Amino acid sequence: MAGETVLVVGGAGYIGSHTCLDLANKGFQPVVYDNFSNGHREFVKWGPAEEGDIRDRARLDEVLAKHKPAAILHFAALIEVGESVKDPVSFYENNVIGTLTLLSAAQAAGVKAFVFSSTCATYGLPQSVPLDESHQQVPINPYGRTKYIVEQALADYDQYKGLRSVVLRYFNAAGADFEGRIGEWHTPETHAIPLAIEAALGRRQGFKVFGSDYDTRDGTCVRDYIHVLDLADAHVRAVEYLLDGGESVALNLGTGTGTTVKELLGTIETVSKRPFPVEYVGRREGDSTTLVANNDKARDILGWSPQYDLSRIIESAWNWHAKSNQH
């Protein structure tokens, strides 16, 4: 498989760029396809870039004919839950119509291996924790629904068209490349770790915690934070699994360890050695009390296990944000 070309759609974004780094380290040739609406040209460091939108079938056909990839990794999605509630149309146009256009182009080009960046948001409100892949899927916002629709389409493409896929349902992606070459950079930033680090760096007023009366060990929500390099490793393993003839499957990607918001903030303060103001406010609509992955299936099928704990996640994120001028 070494030397095989992999088209990384959305490869200039946060998780896509770290996956390009891992692909290159493992002997693959990543080719980035991105419209750069949220991705960063500066993050394309490990292979060529092709500019284009996933809704542009002619451009997709051109790029697929030029590079003849053995597999496609698909990261190009709108991801902000709050924005999906305000503007569901954009999410359906990009995440659903765009993905179906990409799948048609992949089929026409004879690509047989497709790895899809999905989310634990497809599960909706957890009925049991930790969540495994058999948990019912009842998403509670347009973002989660668009991802779930694509998962259902992929099951049909597998059954009726022979396109094998691995669906990867992420929990909370976090951290950065340890050498500080790439990291988390969203505009606007909505994720807890970068927001808290920016507060510790004095780049914002402080950090707001939404809800302190949840039924958890300290009253704050519990989340499963997974290092972006562990996510990248799982994606490359998924490509190898499909190229080796693996069957279509959906897998959770998380550590299996829950961290409360208070514990997260404590770890950031310990790593940074910089206390910062924290304000406790009311609950935010749609937030689940606890989201933690059961990752047994990914371990069994891909031989994957996360390597980095919360301290290492925060160290790498702190290193990236402290050094970076892009914020």
**Catalytic residue ranges:** 143
Helices 261-272/310-323 angle, 10° precision? 60
Whether the Cβ atoms of residue 313 and residue 175 lie closer than 8 Å to each other: yes
How distant, in Å, are the alpha carbons of 102, 193, 208, 229, 314 from that of 184?
25, 10, 19, 12, 12
β-bridge pairing 225-227 and 172-174: parallel
Residue 133 amino acid letter: E
Tokens 């990914």 correspond to 298
CA distance 252 to 118: 9
> In this structure, what is the dihedral angle of CA atoms 27, 33, 37, 41, given to the nearest 10 degrees?
50
CA distance 219 to 209: 11
Whether the Cβ atoms of residue 92 and residue 148 lie closer than 8 Å to each other: no
Distant-in-sequence contacts of 320-325, Cβ < 8 A, 24+ apart:
320/176, 320/177, 320/180, 320/182, 320/183, 320/184, 321/176, 321/183, 321/184, 321/194, 321/197, 321/198, 321/201, 322/197, 322/201, 323/180, 324/180, 324/183, 324/185
CA distance 145 to 126: 15
How crowded is residue 85: how many other Cβ atoms within 10 Å of its Cβ? Answer: 15
Q: Please list the residues that pair with 115 across neighbouring strands.
A: 73, 166
Residue 24 amino acid letter: A
Helices 192-200/261-272 angle, 10° precision? 40
